[in-house]
Structure 1
Amino acid sequence: MITEARRTVRRERRRTVDEREAFDAFADAVRDIPVDGPQSGVRVGARLATPDAASAARAVREAYERTVMAVPHYHEEYDDTYAESLEAELGPTVAAAATGPRLTAAAKSGLVDAALNARADRARFVEALDVEDETLREADDRLGELLAEAAELDTEPLEDLRFGSLDAIRTRLQTLERHAEAVGADRQATLREQTDDLSLPDCAPDLPTYVYQDHEVTYPVLATVARTATILQRIREDVERSMARV
């Protein structure tokens, strides 16, 4: 479970880095787009249309399509239209200004700021994913050590051991159970910190729910802790039954 989770984290990190760089490139491209000058041109209905206005809006769209919408995973993960993506990523106000009849200096500034904010969100998420991967690795190592020692204890010929030896094994198993509980407690603390530090969608109360939503197990560390605790408890109960027979 944890190994699969780490693969997912690394994939999500690659995708998030791609998006971070894409929003950075989009902001740079928008900076180079000239804003509309004084209104002059042909009046169409109640709106003044100018060749520059159409050109600016088209330039914004082309920049967005060749950066944000060009990341390798875009269609697999999002697959929305230009207008939908612009509103979802940069907000309805900025999206309306970017697709409006004129690209004013204020609209351009707002567009760049929104793109940089989206970039900053990705940068924070990359950091969170790095922490997630490290905590997954640490938990996997710690739980692996507990299970390895448990497997060794499980091979002891209990029927040949005296009460004192059995009691020593039981004491060690109780210690291993406390270590497993500590891994679970550390994981819970990490989850609380992640939730406080990140702004995730409403449908995802924490990072594991968001990242592992397609997994059979949403909380791989806690599930592995529970599995480890069950194994340790089973071995300890076998030892205690042997103690009762001595």
Structure 2
Amino acid sequence: MSTTPAQDGTQWFLHTWRDHILEPIETALTVLDAEHTELAAEQDGLEDFLQRLRAVEPAEQPSSPVGAPSRQAASDPVEALREAYTDTVLAVDHYESVYDESLVENVSIEFGPDYAALFHPETKVSFSPPLKRSLVAAVEQAVDERASLDRAVRVEQESIQEYRCRLREVIDTLDSTVVPEWYRETFQNDVSRLLQERQEQLHSSVHRFEAHEFCGYMYEEQLWTYPVLTSLARLQESVDS
């Protein structure tokens, strides 16, 4: 049996309507997937740099304070560190598109300006044993921060995937934007339950991140901050219930 043009128009409208409701959730999952990929690559790059850093022997000359210039020429350890950082941290696929910073700028932002002098091509700094130990600790902390944020990303992914399934179930019960009178109470209760559960989640923490801060950071380029709540609001606003 062929479908009439009117039926085609109705189906197209429902398909577009459902896509509009779920768009924030689908976009959030795309954002989270990209963030997970980038965090994993950065963690690998930092771990590779850490391994090469540990293999670099400190300079035998007397140590200088962190960031203080030395009168002696740049030592081989400094050149080895610059090369190692370039080959690992700066070599991740998304580095230019996301950061686009020089080596020294990235070291300063990542570990602090005191360490930037060690990597500056025109600065003579002795790579002393204390400086090596403190740099190792700073890199280890950066690895831990990436791992912690990635765990939070995966928790958010799992949560939003669950809400996507549950919201789809609610949407699929409707064959128009008018909720039948006999179904309105059930529909309203289902939507209210999803809203309440998600709001309760947002008042908790995501690993060691405060949930509102996490969402603000993760979705800063979007027109919304809370994808699930936005999808639910779109559903409520677009139906006659």
TM > 0.5 fold call: yes
Match of 1:173 in 2: 184
Give the share of equivalent positions with the same residue, in percent: 26
Match of 1:68 in 2: 89
How far has the Cα of 1:198 moved from its partner?
2.3
- Structure 1, unmatched stretches of 5+, are 41-45, 157-165, 237-246
How far has the Cα of 1:231 moved from its partner?
4.0
One-letter amino acid of the structure 2 residue matched with residue 226 of structure 1? A
Mapped pair 1:16 → 2:16: no
Match of 2:140 in 1: 116
Deviates more, 1:177-186 or 1:78-87: 177-186
2:230 to 223, 226, 233: 223
2:168 to 133, 144, 147: 144
SS at match of 2:175: helix
The 4+ residue runs of structure 1 with deviation greater than 6 A are: none
How far has the Cα of 1:192 moved from its partner?
3.4
SS at match of 1:150: coil
| 2-structure distance, mates of 1:226, 1:199 | 23
One-letter amino acid of the structure 1 residue matched with residue 75 of structure 2? A
Match of 1:241 in 2: none
Match of 1:28 in 2: 51
Mapped pair 1:192 → 2:203: yes
Conserved? CA contact 1:19–1:71, under 8 Å? yes
Conserved? CA contact 1:23–1:67, under 8 Å? yes
RMSD: 2.6
State how 1:201-216 maps to structure 2 within 5 Å. Answer: 206-216=213-223
One-letter amino acid of the structure 2 residue matched with residue 109 of structure 1? R
**TM-score, structure 1 normalization:** 0.76
How far has the Cα of 1:98 moved from its partner?
5.7
SS at match of 2:173: helix
Conserved? CA contact 1:16–1:122, under 8 Å? yes
State how 1:150-169 maps to structure 2 within 5 Å. Answer: 150-151=174-175, 154=178, 166=181, 169=182
| 1-structure distance, mates of 2:179, 2:190 | 21
- Structure 2, unmatched stretches of 5+, are 1-22, 64-68
| 2-structure distance, mates of 1:38, 1:224 | 62
How far has the Cα of 1:206 moved from its partner?
2.1
| 2-structure distance, mates of 1:75, 1:194 | 32
Mapped pair 1:81 → 2:102: yes
How far has the Cα of 1:138 moved from its partner?
0.9
Match of 2:18 in 1: none
Mapped pair 1:37 → 2:60: yes
How far has the Cα of 1:177 moved from its partner?
1.7
How far has the Cα of 1:219 moved from its partner?
2.2
| 2-structure distance, mates of 1:57, 1:190 | 47
| 1-structure distance, mates of 2:210, 2:83 | 29
| Larger relative helix fraction | 1
